[in-house]
Amino acid sequence: MTSILILNGPNLNLLGTRQPDVYGTTTLSDIEQMCQTAAKALGVTLAFHQENSEGAMVDHIHAARDTHDGIILNAGAYTHTSIALMDAISSVELPVIELHLSNTLAREEFRHKSYISPVALGVICGFGAAGYEHSLRAMVQHLEACS
């Protein structure tokens, strides 16, 4: 059965209370439940993790190589700073969708640069919590087209 890793980066554990005007009031637990329901309907299995540490995120990406068929990555602020995440994605040779709750291109200038985009299959941003379901459907469609 197809398996997808959804990996969330720093501060996403605070969803629902952190800057609700930017990120909404949906919690990460709510998003995980929504994703598990969508995954079941799509006939795929899902692993869902959140890490505040860049190194732990790299470890999850490395481990995905032997466990998952694709990765949906909301790297949070590491999107704009982490060459390590970019290199990890390149190393595992799995399709990755970059995901953001907010439209990063409509925000501060420093958020316009992504180290993830050049090694990602695509980017979904600006749709809030619904972006997770959009990403999941897009990944499943991509994996089905490649099989």
Active site residue 100: yes
Which of the following is catalytic: 60, 68, 100, 132?
Answer: 100
Distance CA(130)–CA(121), nearest Å, equals 19
- Asked if 23 is an active-site residue, the reply is yes
- Burial 54-67, CB ≥16 within 10 A → b, else e: beebbebbeebeee
For residue 112, what is the DSSP state? G
Q: Which of 23, 78, 115, 132 is catalytic?
A: 23
Residue in the structure block whose two tokens are 């959804």: 6
Cα(57)–Cα(110) distance, rounded to whole angstroms? 21
CA distance 129 to 126: 9
Catalytic residues: 23, 100
